Structure 1
Amino acid sequence: MNKLIDLKELLINKLNSKSATIGVVGLGYVGLPLAVEKAKAGFTVIGFDVQEEKVKNVNDGINYIGDVLPADLESLVTNGKLKATSDYSFIKDVDAVAICVPTPLDIYKQPNMAYVESSARAIAANFTKGTLIVLESTTYPGTTEELIKPILEESGLVCGEDFFLAYSPERVDPGNKDFNTKNTPKVVGGITENCTKVAATMYRAVLDGDVHEVSSPAVAEMEKLLENTFRNINVALANEMAILCHKMGIDVWEVIDAAATKPYGFMPFYPGPGLGGHCIPIDPWYLTWKAREYNYHTKLIETAGEINDSMPDFVVQRCAEILNKQEKALNGAKILVLGIAYKKNIDDYRESPVLPILDRLTSSGSSWEAVDPYIPKFMLHGKEVETIPMTAEKLNEADLILIATNHTDFDYEMILSSGKSVLDTRNSYDNLTEENYFKL
């Protein structure tokens, strides 16, 4: 017991004094901002990534994530507070390490834990007694205890005695100007009470947001899925309302705005061309997959996923309807698609619903070009596609202009003044009524 107390108090003292060295495995949309915040808080930080390009960019002070200020990254690297490596033997030099790697779905919508497992094995081969390991990647309940813990204990060290293990889900909203890694509240659940206390100490030493402690990693894993499933289901409701309102000749956005005047019992969610990003469209499926282990069928979650996944088809159907009014067919039409990113003012197109829209336009025989000031090029079925600038000439050439992502950089006055038919999936003009303007 004295040994355990000594290890716990030693690490807590290091964390409170900022003398601990902290590792971050995975330097993507979650990992790099977290590494930067930890270094800004005064810790020495080592970032780990298998992609040499990311490692080189970090060590050269070159930023590639929108939510990180380039000047911050450059300064931290120059001052020796942050460095990156692909050599996991340096795990032995850290006192605490966060795992922030992708957790994608496979083609059967089942969790692919390969990145998490390989990260855990790399840590297990190199970490030392008294280290804190925290999984941040979104995953199904049980991952930390059933997958990570056994792998780490293959080292011969015992969780809760020789090292500390916890789960703390990432909360990142790319492009959000009000909430970021620094000020967003954090949830932490450890394998043991001491694991929780040590992990919470680390986050309190770094973040301004509240750190909420829960009783186990499974609670923290489940609450993350609840957050994103809540949004997924409510967006699906908004999308289904949009389809029904269109059939009834009612403006769904006006309906939502009216409902939002109620000061209790209602929270507005808005329709769109589908769901994108690495979290909201994917995370609920972790829960659906895990539920099968308990012989439970998550009917509401799966139905919501089906509705959201069907929205690209509805968008293309609306394109065809609008072209028909001009006595034109979708087959052979020229479509100018504005926006590739899954939400406005970011450069992230992971799981963007615009990609399946482009697929459906192509299979329908139409030709399209894409405009996105944040994304100069993107991958579609393994092929690189370049976006183009939005010009009056390109607007005038189009048979239909599709606003798929409502970036604030777009010249919306120029879009309307082209006189071409516009299908707006994001209500970019609020309650505009023009002959050539159509909402979802």
Structure 2
Amino acid sequence: MPADLAVIGLGHLGLPLVQAAVAAGIDTVGYDTDPRPCAELRAGRTPVEGSLTASEIRRMLSGGFRPTTSAAELGRVRTAVICSPTPLGPDRTVDLTALRDAARALAARLRPHTTVLLESAVPPGTTENVLRPLLEEGSGLVAGRDFHLACSPSRLDPGNRTHTYASTPKVIGGLTPACTESAAAFYGRLTDKVVRARGPREAEMTKVLETNFRHVNIALVNEMAVACHDLGVDLWDVIRCAETKPFGFHPFRPGPGVGGHGVPVDPGSLPYSGRTPGHPLRMVSLAQEINDRMPSYVIQRCATLLNEHGKSVRGARVLLLGVTYKPDSADQEAAPAREIAGRLMDMGAQIGYHDPHVLDWRVRQLPVPRADSLYEAAAAADLTVLLQQHRTYDLQGLAVKAQLLLDTRGATPAGAAHRL
């Protein structure tokens, strides 16, 4: 049965797009080579932590959404959007394996006049130098002449109720002006505003700039946190004062590390980045180095606090609060909690956790005990560490109950806990 849209990749990028498309009345099929997401979706369950709720999935299915592992469906649509994951590999370069697999599956069934869009986070040049050749070689069609090709990187903020899919402007860069307009016509049905980039590389680089902006500024404030602690300065009060400046300043806050699906990318270090002069973005590399050090700094602060209270890390009962990468979400992508827990375990600590959004949590394949009663667990623990500030946590009450509380998010009232 033909559909208007095929979303390729039913993960944290693809599912919100499906939800927006179905809500707009677009007949949508979702394709994934992995049978597990499709089976979960057909059963009315979300296959991705921190993504859609079961009731939202059921509404999508009742609205006509069809998850499938049959690539034949890709040859029956007007628009195909690639939302494949592009994680960092062991060498910290972007792994495009899933994107290439998606392109080959689509190319074998690509029809003339189809609009192909790329939402995955990719380095500049990927749409033209990786995706385009695969589509053309596999289909015998020419991009920009026989089918439309454009990049529109995702700007999702999972769990954000203010900036939704519809209210977040969509950046689009097409291979040709006609490609851009075809993409704009599609996204115009889903979002309130479409922003036309000069081309695919400008759209790709927009995502790189946005992601690197976040990481660099978090790294700056993380360094400030360490320096302020050493100097006996209250960083959180400094930020409170600085953010009153109505120009030239945007507040960021430190934390135990940086999680999320967006990863810092240095396009100058990539072999297919084209005419780049080969100069790395040194600030991006340094920011990543600083942010990667934060879990170790949290461990150091834990050990110091325990020692100041006459206790050793070895044998200490440590309760970790909030193991997700962002508040009020179940998404654990790259959250620093797992690394912090692992290092504390290596030092002989007895680890427990509490998170209202995570009912089962494992570190190095081992289950970590979950606290049923938060206050009782905090009172029993030698040290409680707030790693993520979920809305349900009563931090003032928690500060009273906990023997020793380290707040890595600056969320507790001043003087109620030790803050990062």
Query: With structure 1 as the length reference, what TM-score do the two structures score?
Result: 0.90
- Answering whether residue 120 of structure 2 is matched by residue 137 of structure 1, we say yes
C-alpha spacing 1:76/1:311, structure 2 compared with 1 (3 Å)? closer
Are residue 433 (structure 1) and residue 419 (structure 2) matched? no
Counterpart of 2:191 (choices 196, 199, 207) is: 207
Mapped partners of 1:20, 1:89: distance in 2 = 12
Query: Structure 2 regions of 5+ residues with no counterpart?
Result: none
Q: 1:277 aligns with which of 260, 264, 284?
A: 260
Letter in 2 for 1:158: V
- Provide the rounded CA distance (Å) in 2 between the counterparts of 1:182 and 1:378: 33
Match for residue 388 of structure 1? 371
* Corresponding residue number in structure 1 for 2:145: 161
- Correspondence 1:304 to 2:300: no
Aligned equivalents of 2:394, 2:197: Cα separation in 1? 47
Tell me the equivalent position of 1:99. Answer: 82
The within-5 A match list for 1:63-78 is: 63-64=46-47, 66=50, 68=52, 70-78=54-62
The alpha-carbon deviation at position 286 of structure 1 amounts to: 5.4
TM-score (norm 2): 0.94
What's the counterpart of residue 318 of structure 1?
A: 301
**How many angstroms apart in 2 are the aligned matches of 1:388 and 1:212?**
47
CA shift digits 1:208-233 (9 cap, x unpaired): 2x100111100000010000101100
Matches within 5 A, 1:322-341: 322-341=305-324
Equivalent position of 2:403 in the other structure:
420
Provide the residue aligned with 1:10 in structure 2: none
The superposition leaves residues 349-406 of structure 1 with CA deviations (integer Å, 9 ceiling, x where unpaired) of 1100111111211122212111111011234334454533243332222110000111
Amino acid at match of 2:184: A
The one-letter amino acid paired with 1:438 is H
DSSP 3-state at the match of 1:36: helix
Kindly report which structure 2 residues correspond to 1:215-234, keeping only aligned pairs within 5 A, or say none.
Answer: 215-234=198-217
Q: Give the Cα–Cα distance (whole angstroms) in 1 for the partners of residues 366 and 103 of structure 2.
A: 33
- The AA in structure 2 aligned to 1:156 is G
Question: Take 1:410 and 1:365, find their aligned partners in 2: how far apart are those partners?
Answer: 28
The number of residue pairs the alignment matches comes to 415
Residue 61 of structure 1, aligned match among 30, 44, 48? 44
Percent of pairs identical after alignment?
36
Report the counterpart of residue 27 of structure 1 in structure 2: 10
Any conservation in 2 of the 1:110–1:286 contact (CA below 8 Å)? no
User: Structure 1 residues 107 and 126 mapped into 2: Cα distance closer, same or farther (>3 Å)?
Assistant: same
What is the SS of the residue equivalent to 1:239? helix
SS at match of 1:189: strand
**Correspondence 1:194 to 2:178:** yes
For the residues of structure 2 that align with 1:135 and 1:106, how far apart are their CA atoms?
A: 20
**Local SS of the residue matching 1:284:** coil
- The match for 1:241 among 211, 224, 232 is 224
- Give the stretch that moved more between structures: 55-64 or 168-177: 55-64
SS of equivalent to 2:220? helix
Shift of 1:407: 0.8
User: What amino acid is the match of 2:415?
Assistant: T
After superposing the two structures, state which structure 1 stretch, 232-241 or 125-134, moved more.
125-134
CA distance in 2, matches of 1:426, 1:193: 46
Residues in 1 aligned to 2:76 and 2:110: alpha-carbon distance in whole angstroms: 8
Question: Residues 399, 385 of structure 1: CA spacing in aligned structure 2 closer, same or farther, 3 A cutoff?
Answer: closer
Q: 8 Å contact 1:288–1:301 — kept in the other structure? A: no
Kindly provide the amino acid, as one letter, of the partner of residue 178 in structure 2: N
The alpha carbon displacement at 1:330 in A equals: 1.4
Relative to structure 1, the CA distance from residue 366 to residue 178 in structure 2 (aligned partners, 3 Å threshold; closer, same or farther) is: same
Q: 1:415 to 1:34 in 2, by over 3 A?
A: same
- For the residue of structure 2 that corresponds to 1:253, the secondary structure is helix
Contact 2:321 2:354 in 1 (8 A): yes
2:57 and 2:360 map into 1 onto residues whose CA distance is 25
Query: Partners in 2 of 1:199 and 1:150 — Cα distance?
Result: 19
Cα distance 1:420–1:286, how it changes in 2: closer, same or farther (>3 A)? Answer: farther
Following TM superposition, by how much is the alpha carbon of 1:287 offset from its aligned partner in structure 2, in angstroms? 5.7
Quote the Cα distance in structure 2 between the aligned partners of 1:225 and 1:77. Answer: 34
Unaligned runs of 5+ in 1: 1-18
Aligned mates of 1:325, 1:69 — CA distance in 2: 44
Larger mean CA deviation between 126-135 and 379-388 belongs to: 379-388
Matched AA of 2:340: I
Q: Distance in 2 between matches of 1:287 and 1:336?
A: 42
1:69 and 1:378 map into 2 onto residues whose CA distance is: 19
Q: CA RMSD in A?
A: 1.9
Q: Is 1:401 equivalent to 2:381 in the alignment?
A: no
The 8 Å contact of residues 225 and 287 in structure 1, kept in 2 or not, is answered as no
Give distance in 1, aligned partners of 2:267 and 2:315.
Answer: 40
Equivalent residues of 2:36, 2:47 under 8 A apart: no
Match of 2:154 in 1: 170
**Closer, same or farther in 2 for the Cα pair 1:20/1:200, shift >3 Å?**
farther
User: C-alpha separation between the residues in 1 aligned to 2:44 and 2:374?
Assistant: 34
Separation in structure 2 between the aligned mates of residue 340 and residue 392 of structure 1, nearest angstrom: 17
